[in-house]
Amino acid sequence: MVKDGIVLGERYEILSKIGAGGMADVYKGRDNVLNRFVAVKVLKKEYREDETYVKKFRSEAQAAAGIMNPNIVNVYDVGVDRGLYYMVMELVEGITLKEYIAKKGKLTPKEVISITLQVCAGMEAVHKGHIIHRDIKPQNIIISNEGKVKVTDFGIAKAASSNTTSSNAMGSVHYTSPEQARGGFSDEKSDIYSIGITMYEMVTGRVPFDGDSTVAIAMKHLQEEIVPPSEYVPMPYSLEQIILKCTQKNPDLRYPNVTLLAQDLRRSLSDPNGDFVKNGADAYGAGADTVMISEADRRKLQNQYDDEYEDDDYDDDDEYDDGYDDEYDTTRSLKSQRDEEKGRKPKMSGVMKIVIALIAALAVCAAAYGIASAVGFFGGSSKKEEDKTTMVDVPNLSNLGLTEDQARDAAEKAGFKLEVSGTEKSDQEEGTVIDQDPKYGEEAEKGSTISVVLSAGPSTVTVPDVSGDDVDTATEAIEAEGLKVGSTNEEYSDEYKEGEVIRTTPSSGSEVEEGSTVNLVVSQGKNPEDEKVTVQSFVGMPESNLTSWAEDNEINVSRSEDYSDDVAEGRIISQSLTSGSVTKGTTISYVVSLGADPDKEKPSDNDNNNSGNSNDNTTSDNNNNSGGDDSSSGNNSGSSTSSDGPVWESNIASWAQEKGVSYNTKYEKNSSVTRGQVIRYEQNDDGSYTFYVSLG
């Protein structure tokens, strides 16, 4: 095992162990040159001195390094440092398809098609590179956290050529093709068979062939017809036909390449129950005879599985030809089968009779020995321990909420021991199993130990307060705490400017699990509908009335001053806007009266009287009627104002406001009344008043 912190090739820093296979351990590492996380696969210590396994390890790197595809786990580098053979690969955060199937039980047809299309995309690049994977299975298909499907583990991949025979380089027996099981020629169609078995497991939650031993399973691939998946679960007709076509025992009846397989998968999405998949002998003009296994093939299979092949081990790459005519054996087996069907008994040779006699004799001896052992005749144990190692499937213990005791019971029932290798922070309940080695779906020696990691409970962090920050600054602060930014919603705010964060969900100060998502609410600024203000006229009113109103309604003002003979000092002469609606922040200009201009000459009382007598001859009779001996009385007679009415035009507005009435103003020339003075006023039928002001 490589220690954490060690640097390989003066570049790749080992951070932590994330997995293990039969021949290699996988670590999470950091590329210190490109500053990125990588996966580092290191050949186990017991295989470093064996040139065969070293060669196999390098071959895997060479097979995968030439393939650049988003659906293939890319290999970046390979090397040796201090006797450690390592391979640097793309780090994919996610779970294997095997784990995903175990988690969901069965996948929906759309999920099956989506995942298989991505596998086909990756395998199309592999096959174009003249490489046969030969170990396609759910354990070697990774689904990233982003949903990207990637094919990995080219440990037994080989160049596609006339010499690409299976020999000992077989994939997991549950997914291996019949031709691989027989040690025959393997090509792209062998990978397609494995893809078909993987699809079968995705849609039904089970593999089509299972048994007590790897040899028994391999025999089923060769001899037994596959049970249609629709017998286990309802499914679209076209998808079932695609799976059955992929898993034909005769390679010539399968899809010739993954491109055509992908075409039918896409068509199945739009026409689920269509009858467009060509199956049977007429598919590609090939025969559809069931493949039979000969006695020589049986012996060959037995030799292949003597060591109970492990899924993740690198296998011996040596190829051989046992000189046996497989085609002849198959034909002979088929002939024997036909003879039996016709009721004819195959002739038994003399050698065969001797073999049967020997087997019977051995059976009698074995029975006698067993009875003798049982009664203690040989003084030994009544039950002899099996010499041959038994390999069994590893049970699923992780991420199911199992406590240590529950996991131990499950392991012991499956024939394993259990040990706790440590604890890690996780989102799973504290004390439950979150990881195991070996992994679920792998095969391991019965009676061996499964190491498990227990959850130490979630690692919590505090949501930072980012209110008032812009989105970029808030995102940096949130991610710095090990959290992720999720959705961003907007709403109006009187408190925060446009683009500033108003609040987060969960709220700031909350304790959440590391890696949780934090959603932002961002300000759009103030609501325009709330910003509308109805303008009022303050002409003739004190300046304080306007400024108070403007401050309350967030209206800006621009002030200026001017002399006025008509408007009293400190009152509004005019304003730029007197009606309508405006947005808050609008500026209204107004002019404040400084009173009468001191430099302007004012007429004396005598001047007024004289002008009244000399300039308006048409009113002389009225003046005479007034007696002519009271000049002031003569002046007042030109006004109809009462003692409680306004005397000057500048007083009209305040008087009307005090009375709560509306008014309008009209102007008349009257030389007997001073300019700006009210001549008279009248109350109209609607209650309003009309004021007549002198123009002099």
In a domain, 343, yes or no: no
Write out the two tokens for 23. Answer: 């021949």
Between CA 158 and CA 139 the distance in angstroms is 19
Residue 539: how many other CB atoms lie within 10 Å: 15
Nearest to 189 by CA among 144, 138, 123: 123
Between CA 75 and CA 152 the distance in angstroms is 10
Between CA 402 and CA 410 the distance in angstroms is 9
Between CA 302 and CA 234 the distance in angstroms is 37
Catalytically annotated residues: 135
Torsion sign over Cα 16, 19, 25, 27: negative
CATH number of the domain to which 397 belongs? 3.30.10.20
CA distances from 58 to 136, 169, 667, 696 (A): 20, 15, 109, 114
Which residue is associated with the tokens 């199992």?
Answer: 402
Residue 209: how many other CB atoms lie within 10 Å: 23
Residue 114: how many other CB atoms lie within 10 Å: 16
DSSP collapsed to 3 states, 390-422: CEEECCCCCCCCCEHHHHHHHHHHCCCEEEEEE
554-593 burial: b if 16+ Cβ within 10 Å, else e: ebebeeeeeebbbbeeebbbbbebeeeebeeebebebbbb
Spacing of C-alpha 605 from chain mean position: 94
Q: What share of the chain is helix, strand, coil (3-state, %, to 5)?
A: 35, 25, 45
In a domain, 238, yes or no: yes
Mean pLDDT, the chain cut into blocks of 10 residues (696 residues total): 87 89 85 92 83 75 74 88 89 91 93 95 88 88 91 62 41 83 82 96 94 85 90 94 95 93 93 87 46 53 46 35 33 37 42 55 57 46 51 86 90 91 84 90 88 86 93 93 91 91 92 88 85 88 92 91 89 90 89 86 48 38 35 34 68 85 88 84 89 85
End-to-end CA distance of the chain: 113
Residues 204, 69 share a domain:
no
Write out the two tokens for 150. Answer: 């990637």
User: Which alpha helices (H) appear in 307-415, and where do they start and end?
Assistant: 326-341, 350-374, 404-413
Q: Which residues pair with 149 in a beta bridge?
A: 143
> At a CB cut-off of 8 Å and minimum separation 6, what does 84 contact?
2, 8, 42, 43, 48
For the beta sheet containing 484-491, the strands, ordered from the edge strand earlier in sequence to the opposite edge, are 484-491, 517-523, 501-505
Residues 465, 449 share a domain:
no
Residues 578, 445 share a domain:
no
3-state secondary structure of 296: helix
pLDDT of residue 486: 92
Residues 284, 216 share a domain:
yes
In a domain, 2, yes or no: no
Number of H helices, E strands in the chain: 18, 29
**Local structure of residue 370 (DSSP, 8 states):** H
Residues 214, 305 share a domain:
yes
pLDDT of residue 388: 56
By residue count, the chain amounts to 696
CATH number of the domain to which 315 belongs? 1.10.510.10
Q: Within 13 Å of residue 62, how many CA atoms lie on the same side as its CB?
A: 10
User: Which alpha helices (H) appear in 432-542, and where do they start and end?
Assistant: 471-480
Instruction: Check: CB of residue 256 under 8 Å from CB of residue 250.
Output: no
In a domain, 18, yes or no: yes
pLDDT of residue 356: 57
Between CA 403 and CA 499 the distance in angstroms is 48
Torsion sign over Cα 31, 84, 306, 393: negative
Residue 335, Ramachandran bin (φ over 0: left; ψ between -120 and 50: alpha; else beta):
alpha
User: Which alpha helices (H) appear in 414-564, and where do they start and end?
Assistant: 471-480, 543-552
Instruction: Check: CB of residue 676 under 8 Å from CB of residue 693.
Output: yes
Residues 538, 469 share a domain:
no
Residues 108, 155 share a domain:
yes
- Boundaries of domain holding 486: 460-526
Residues 584, 545 share a domain:
yes
CA distances from 81 to 15, 426, 554 (A): 17, 33, 73
Residues 182, 320 share a domain:
yes
Between CA 45 and CA 592 the distance in angstroms is 97
Residues 278, 178 share a domain:
yes
Q: Which helix (H) or strand (E) holds 633?
A: helix 631-636
Strand segments (E) across 535-677:
556-562, 572-575, 581-583, 587-593, 663-668
**Local structure of residue 282 (DSSP, 8 states):** T
Which pTM does this prediction carry?
A: 0.44
Q: Within 13 Å of residue 509, how many CA atoms lie on the same side as its CB?
A: 2
Which residue is associated with the tokens 């980012």?
Answer: 466
Instruction: Check: CB of residue 635 under 8 Å from CB of residue 612.
Output: yes
In a domain, 344, yes or no: no
Between CA 208 and CA 194 the distance in angstroms is 12
Between CA 486 and CA 585 the distance in angstroms is 35
Domain end marker among 37, 58, 90 = 90
Q: Within 13 Å of residue 520, how many CA atoms lie on the same side as its CB?
A: 27
Write out the two tokens for 22. Answer: 């039969």
Strands 556-562 and 131-132: unpaired
The number of domains in the chain is 7
Residues 218, 109 share a domain:
yes
pLDDT of residue 367: 54
**Local structure of residue 229 (DSSP, 8 states):** G
Residue 525, Ramachandran bin (φ over 0: left; ψ between -120 and 50: alpha; else beta):
left
Q: Within 13 Å of residue 103, how many CA atoms lie on the same side as its CB?
A: 11
In a domain, 258, yes or no: yes
In a domain, 196, yes or no: yes
Torsion sign over Cα 490, 494, 495, 496: positive
Write out the two tokens for 609. Answer: 């009287």
> At a CB cut-off of 8 Å and minimum separation 6, what does 570 contact?
542, 543, 592, 593
Instruction: Check: CB of residue 113 under 8 Å from CB of residue 268.
Output: yes
Nearest to 213 by CA among 388, 387, 385, 410: 388
Domain end marker among 455, 472, 499 = 455
Residues 470, 376 share a domain:
no
Domain end marker among 337, 371, 406 = 337
User: Which alpha helices (H) appear in 38-132, and where do they start and end?
Assistant: 51-65, 97-104, 109-128
Write out the two tokens for 452. Answer: 């498990």
